Structure 1
Amino acid sequence: MAGNHEISMKTEVGHHEFSGETLRDEVARIDALATAPGTTLESFADLDEKKILRKMDMRLIPMLAMLYLLSFLDRGNIGNAKIEGLQEDLGMSSDEYNWCLTVFFFTYAAFEVPSNLLLKRLRPSRWLPFIMVAWGAVMTLMGIVRNFHGLMIARLFLGITEAGLYPGCAYYLTMWYCRHEIQLRQAMFFSAASIAGAFSGLLAFAIAKMDGIGNLEGWRWIFILEGLVTVIIAVVAFFVLHDFPETASFLTEKEREFVVFRLKYQGQLQGKGYGHTQVAQAEEFEWRYVLDAFKDWQIWVNIFVYLGIVCPLYGISLFLPTIIRNLGYSASTAQLMTVPIYITAAILSVVFAFLSDRVGKRSPFIISFMLVMIVGFSMCISSTNPRVVYGGVFIVACAIYPAFPGVVTWLSNNLAGSYKRSAGMAIQIGIGNLGGAMASNFYRQKDAPQYKLGHGLELAFIIIGVVAALVLLIAYGTINKRRDKVIREGGEAQFTVEELSTKGDRAVTFRYMI
């Protein structure tokens, strides 16, 4: 392959051996080799792509899943703490409790874009563990709050420190995997959220038995122990996480070039080839790419799809134990009844992500799951039978968890250019997660046990999301057909390779995934 052996270097490179300029130099070196003149897909014909993907899966996914499990566990365990007496012990009204849920999302949304930009410019193996230590410390300190104001301030800081984890991990995966294979990885990592829901119930059930130890209530131990575990895992992550494909110690030099090559040329000509004109996606940081993300219509339409999924997601994760308990079950039984819901949702999330990657489409799955969510909430709102309501929330959860990685993946698939994708995903997740602030107030104690207002509002957001998804589907299809026509007429010849690279997903050679 042209230019591949101009610089000799040892194959194995530890991801913590690099620092500063050395890391940037190695990234630039591998990037240059991957995009050298004469380099084509056939240049890597001797490599086993499936073997490389398996290597990446084993080294990346388990650790990311553990990080997100802890993140979701730590933000949602307040729901478990509530039914163990948090609200009564702190002398809070139901409105004050809901405010403590709400303020988390204000700071969480505000800090997501800055965090994602820092992730790209800094080292993921340093940045992600750093923010983990920060939120683990905050979570531990939540165990010693004494009143409403203390809890609210702690939740504000929890939002700041957790803000970078999910959008950071979701974006981090796009640095390694192509768009036709990433939803499975997003789902494998995100399924940790549903497993966290199951663990949350089990752990809360067990930890609550510590009530009285150290003169602390059981719900305080939920915060303290889960916070300490987060700090410990963060230390492990510092040594286990890898930074970028260009510096991956578990790949040979040629394998690293191949991973970079396939990422830089993805998304062209419907993703089935590398095209008439090879156009590498722009990687250099320029503020115009960030501004481009804020001005891109598809991100703002996608946010409405995201809201149609994330509002039910937070409604379920924050209030599921309370909803079940108000059906007439004890606190401990309610905790345990959440477990089968989350385990089933985790399995379905991975299964349908595999199918979505296999057929190369996102919208049919997303829209179908949103329609299933409508069925589930309709069961909850129309019945007073505890079994029917439990069945309804079961169905809702089993549709939410497969849909969520789908909507995040769909947008990331359709944003070209590393920094635009970074900013765009953070905008989607950051602004979209304000839906969590709204969902925190959907389920009021005075509406128990039917919670008609809460279920009704969830239904409204889902319907809006379905409409937005249909708008995206039609728009993407129309644009793709228009670009096909331009290509057939040789229209790409009027642009230089550099111009097409700068245009990113607006280039005539780029095809939106539907």
Structure 2
Amino acid sequence: MADTKTSSIDVDDPKVPTNTTGESKNDTHFAAERGHVATDQHGHSLVHIDPKVEARLRWKIDLYVVPTVALLYLFCFIDRANVGNAKIAFLERDLGMAGYDYNALLSVFYISYIVFEIPSNIMCKWVGPGWFIPGISLGFGICSLATAFVQTKAQASGVRFLLGIFEAGMMPGIAYYLSRWYRRAELTFRLSLYIVMAPLAGAFGGLLASGILSLDHVGSVRGWRMIFLVEGIITIGLSVIAFFTLTDRPATARWLTAEEQDMAIARVKAERVTTTEVLDAMNVKKLLKGMANPVTFSTALIFLLNNITVQGLAFFLPTIVKTIYPDKSTVTQQLYTVPPYIVGAFFTLLLPLISTLADRRQVFMILSAPTVMIGYIMFLAVDKPQVRYGATFLITSTVYALGPITNSQVSANVISDTSRTSAIALNVMLGNIGGLVSTWSFLPWDAPNYHIGNGLNLATSGTVLVISTLALLWMKQDNRKRESRSVEEELAGLSQQQVQDLDYKNPAFRWHP
């Protein structure tokens, strides 16, 4: 599975012309070459590939690309959220924390996480995901390991700040990386295959934490420190393996034949209007176009609001469960956090799968909101522990699915690789501002009912419903306006580079709701 890794700025190399199976004999090689487009001026694909041949290629890519990034993201989320498991295992007591100290510890992580989001994804494109993703994984694994040995609040805060720097590039980096391999309609489900690791991390993290805490010690390390020690070592091991297994891009994949490399490049390029290469050189104009894109911004705002709930669950679900079942042992409380995450994982795969089959994303953002709203209404209106515990299942059934759906949506509504880099980074950056808000949504003095936190999440889910609906109506209206524009007249006299720099402003481009 090893491959030659070079900077992603080295765009797709032309191959010796070869025949492909089915209808496509020369067009995939032609479209794969740098300098050749794979669409006409109106955005219609010039590439024809036998569906059976393409299905075999897609399955091969799935097997070689997705498992590595999914495992890395699993432990990325575990290393971030295990502080919630450590909290109910007496982390606060041992570090002398009181009042808002725990909330502040969570916030420190998000400060660096947010600041480094966009620079990190730009660096991912410049260095190449094949090196960058394993590199940052190694970094946050070391940070998790170091947390096992902190003795003060200041030391814990410093390590969490570093953890945020390394983890900042993980979610947008993997989303950007997968966009190199998959068509628009295929991407949502493939994103779900790694983002599902977030709820699985909650479930597996709870199981792993309860198992680790059942041990008396690991070496000289005891108590909650064992959680960080063991999980950090596992992350480091996976990162080292990823340096050898993560393939940077189709053109350098040794496990693809020359024909398959051409096909992998051509099929992605065929969805990008008048684009002459899949991996273009860094361009400031295109970076700005990716962030100024109206669909990128509205989707990122939805992800911000949604992430207040997602990250709040990661950090506070153990605490919420403890207030529901205060008489249970710490290990039992950890285990009670597992079932809601299992339900979340199931729907994180199911909803993006349906989205992929329908090639629609916006409607799923709309449909995600009502179940979350009902869940938080139950928290606010009912005191019975069983009802509140049931509400967590309603909430987790849709909130995690918006991770793959929103990242896929911003990816689908830009043209160039560079714009995609900044669009995905902005989406995740705003999402993590929501994570920062979540660290202050469940305050100590508001326990055990947490009216402020539950009320805030009810409000954010309601706002998601409104924004996602308005965005869908706007996309449909703007597409109707674009139908009346003359592509030939507007593009007349422009060079190929000027046309490519238009990105979503190209009159031939259509929004993909």
Query: Do both proteins adopt the same fold according to a TM-score greater than 0.5, normalized to the shorter chain?
Result: yes
Structure 1 residues 340 and 491, CA gap change in structure 2 (3 angstroms): farther
- Structure-2 residue corresponding to 1:510: 509
Amino acid at match of 1:258: M
Q: Say whether the 8 Å CA contact 1:113–1:423 is kept in structure 2.
A: yes
Q: 1:178 aligns with which of 183, 186, 195?
A: 183
Q: Which residue of 2 aligns with 1:264?
A: 269
Residue of structure 1 equivalent to 2:41 = none
Q: Is the 8 A contact 2:11 2:280 kept in 1?
A: no
Q: 1:469 to 1:144 in 2, by over 3 A?
A: same
| Equivalent position of 1:27 in the other structure | 12
CA contact (8 A) 1:267 1:512 kept: no
- Inter-partner Cα distance in structure 1 for 2:153 and 2:302: 34
Q: Of the candidates 219, 224, 229, which is equivalent to residue 224 of structure 1?
A: 229
**Partners of 1:52 and 1:183 in 2: CA distance:** 18
Using the TM superposition, give the Cα deviation of residue 104 of structure 1 relative to its aligned residue in structure 2, in angstroms: 0.5
CA contact (8 A) 1:267 1:511 kept: no
RMSD: 2.3
1:5 aligns with none
Structure 2 equivalent of residue 494 of structure 1: 492
Q: CA deviation at 1:495?
A: 6.2
For residue 43 of structure 1, report the CA deviation from its aligned partner: 5.5
Aligned equivalent of 1:298? 295
Q: TM-score, normalised by structure 2?
A: 0.90
Residue 211 of structure 1, CA deviation: 4.0
Instruction: Give the distance between the partners of 2:98 and 2:341, measured in 1 at CA.
Output: 29
2:154 to 146, 149, 167: 149
Q: Which amino acid aligns with 1:262?
A: R
Equivalent residues in 2 for 1:379-394, closer than 5 Å: 379-394=378-393
Q: Once the 2 structures are TM-superposed, how far is the Cα of residue 432 of structure 1 from its aligned partner?
A: 2.2
Q: 2:436 aligned with 1:437, yes or no?
A: yes
Question: 1:312 maps to which residue?
Answer: 309
Retained in 1: the 8 A contact 2:318–2:337? Answer: yes
Contact 2:180 2:268 in 1 (8 A): yes
Equivalence map 1:53-72=2 (5 Å): 53-72=58-77
Matching residue within 80, 83, 86 for 2:88: 83
Describe how 1:218-257 pairs up with structure 2 within 5 A: 218-257=223-262
CA spacing shift, 1:210–1:469, aligned 2, 3 Å = same
Deviations 1:167-213 (A, max 9, x none): 10011111111111110101111111111111111011011123455
How many positions carry a matched residue from both structures? 490
Contact kept in structure 2, 1:293 and 1:420, CA below 8 Å: yes
Distance 2:174 2:278 in 1: 20
Alpha-carbon deviation of 1:399? 1.2
Who is 2:106 aligned against?
101
Do 2:275 and 2:416's aligned partners in 1 also have CA atoms closer than 8 Å?
Answer: no
CA distance in 2 between partners of 1:187 and 1:24 (Å): 27
Call closer, same or farther: CA 1:281–1:252 in 2, change over 3 Å.
Answer: closer
1:117–1:91 CA distance, 2 compared to 1 (3 A): same
- The within-5 A match list for 1:204-223 is 204-223=209-228
For structure 2, the 5+ residue unaligned runs are 16-28, 39-44
Whether the 8 Å CA contact 1:307–1:461 is kept in 2: the answer is no
Distance in 1, matches of 2:31 and 2:297, equals 36
What SS does structure 1 have at the residue aligned with 2:331?
Answer: helix
Contact (CA 8 Å) 1:80, 1:201: kept in 2 or not?
yes
Q: Which AA in structure 2 matches 1:27? A: D
Q: Measure the CA separation in 2 of the matches of 1:464 and 1:38.
A: 41
Q: Distance in 2 between matches of 1:62 and 1:17?
A: 19
1:287 and 1:38 map into 2 onto residues whose CA distance is: 22
TM-score (norm 1): 0.90
Q: CA deviation at 1:450?
A: 1.2
Paired with 1:41 and 1:71, the residues of 2 have a C-alpha distance of 40
Displacement of 1:467:
2.2
Question: 1:395 is matched with which residue?
Answer: 394
The one of 162, 165, 175 aligned to 1:160 = 165
Shift of 1:465: 2.2
Matched, 1:425 2:424: yes
Could you say which residue in structure 2 is the equivalent of 1:4? Answer: none
Question: What is the CA deviation profile of residues 104-140 of structure 1, one whole-angstrom value per residue up to 9, with x for unaligned ones?
Answer: 0110011111111111121322111111111111111
CA 1:480–1:335: 2 relative to 1, 3 Å: same
Q: Separation in 1 of the partners of 2:316 and 2:461?
A: 18
